[in-house]
Chain A
Amino acid sequence: MTRPPKRTIAPIFWLLFGAGGMLSALFGTGLVIVTGFLLPASPPSYQAAAAILHNPLAGLVALATIPLFFWHGAERLFLTLKDMRAGPRPLLALISYGAAAVGTLVTILLIFLMEFGS
Chain B
Amino acid sequence: MPNYNKFVNGNLVALTDAEQTERETEEKAWVDEAPNRRMTELRSQRAKLLAETDYMGNSDVVMSEAWATYRQVLRDITTQTPADDALSNITFPTKPTE
Q: Verify that A and B bind, or say they do not.
A: no
Q: Name A's B-contacting residues (CB within 8 A).
A: none
Q: Name B's A-contacting residues (CB within 8 A).
A: none
